[in-house]
A and B are shown apart, each in its own frame.
Chain A
């Protein structure tokens, strides 16, 4: 099972035996009030620097989300995608809950994009999957539906299976569906991390598809968040996540370490290269 994403030049392959692919999460105004204000003021150029910084830090894919108050996503999202593609050649993950903005962005996006995201809700599936098929993109499927996010791993797995089935029915190949089993806050429920890990394992063994995870959620409300995030990513990657959405600069070296330990980094070249880069930056 190999998911292929394309940027203007770079091609990214997501597969179980490959190194872990990093999707950079920083172009997202949620929780970043300054970025939100810049976007609302029409200063869309700001996404260029955010994209460059992340690719310099080792991001393989750039997530683009411009959802903020006062931002017209239908005009701003495609512009942001174009801006990002002017400065970096990696694939784009188009991140929006607005299908009209999504289509506008898909129209201008070069290469093969990743659509972030659909979930198990009927309305979303019937509205968004046809766009994914028409523009030959890949898509992230979130394990939630009309009933919210199920606590039981089996129910999340059932939603994943439903999304995969519906995608295939309209001609999206299964390798173009990435499942996100959803990282939940462990500060509010100490077993929430385990439930997600169990769901990831089920999806890997029963569906065999590639998976993403927004792991940073898990550490909300806790001290030393980076330690928790890195530990969680290590466990999740072992269970089957191979393209997490992360703050690349913060967790890259930890993920490179995981790849060494899982035998995905021959002669530990990536890990050592990452170390040298950090040395050069004087960190």
Chain B
């Protein structure tokens, strides 16, 4: 790995957005391909952030600063990335299910996923099942993430998955679920493809699912 890419990963980990921009520009000037800057610079840094967050060494605000630095770097790279590079950035639609207004966890997961290199389409809160169906039809995401914070609204995750089945779009996406009352057992029971207990694990889970899908 070239020195400048390691430096990018390092300053991204520190959340230094100005240095990220300077170094991304420097790497490009050195003739390194944009896709490589993305993978071995920005995403490599974000991976380390994810590892240390899950280990309890980093805290949410630090992850968000790194995510902001990631965005700053992406603003420079995006116009230069080839179609194949862009296709490798996966899309995820997230929202809270019908009846549920709790958006803190969902927002946090969204920010972490963006930091993890996903294109995140946040369709909001208190969403009837057909909103998820519509979003799949218009956005063609790789993954749909549903959140619920109440045992009463959690049942609507099942209703939403059923609606995806009935609309014939269930096979197009991987469905992941999360929220305080949700458990792995419940996720399995309703036929979700994955469950994450926290925002950091959600990124890990999303990555493993798109790898399965692509592979």
Instruction: List residues of A whose CB falls within 8 A of some B CB.
Output: 29-31, 33, 36, 67-69, 71, 73, 97-98, 119, 144, 146, 148-149, 184-185, 187-188, 190, 217, 220-223
Contact = CB atoms under 8 A, between A and B. Distances in A.
Contacts of A33: 183
A221 B185 CA distance: 25
A185 B126 contact: no
A209 to B, nearest CB: 22
Contacts of B185: 69
Interface stretch (B39-47, B68-76, B103-111): B103-111
B191 interface: no
| B interface bracket (residues with beta carbon within 8 Å of A) | 20 to 34
Contacts of B59: 187, 221-223
Contact of A69 (B104, B151, B153): B151
Scoring B64, B150, B151, B185 by chain A CB atoms within 10 A of each residue's CB, the highest score goes to: B151
Contact of B150 (A97, A144, A149, A184): A97
Contact of B61 (A97, A146, A222): A222
Contacts of A31: 180
Given A98-B152, A220-B60, 15 more contacts: A30-B151, A30-B180, A30-B181, A33-B183, A69-B183, A97-B152, A144-B101, A149-B103, A187-B59, A187-B64, A188-B64, A188-B107, A217-B104, A221-B61, A223-B59
B125 interface: yes
Contacts of A187: 59-61, 64, 108
Nearest to A222: B59
Contacts, number: 63
Contacts of B64: 187-188
Contacts of A67: 150-152, 181
Contacts of A30: 149, 151, 180-181
A148 B152 contact: no
Nearest to B124: A148
B154 interface: yes
Contacts of B186: 69
B56 to A, nearest CB: 9
Interface string B170-181: 000000000011
A161 B50 CA distance: 43
B108 A185 contact: yes
A37 to B, nearest CB: 9
A148 B125 contact: yes
A69 B45 CA distance: 38
A188 B60 contact: yes
Contacts of B104: 184-185, 188, 217, 220
A71 B60 contact: no
Contacts of B181: 29-30, 36, 67-69
A223 B58 CA distance: 9
A148 B180 contact: no
Contact of A222 (B60, B107, B150, B180): B60
Given A67-B150, A67-B181, A187-B59, A146 B103 contact: no
B140 to A, nearest CB: 27
Contacts of A184: 104
Contacts of B103: 148-149
Nearest to B61: A187
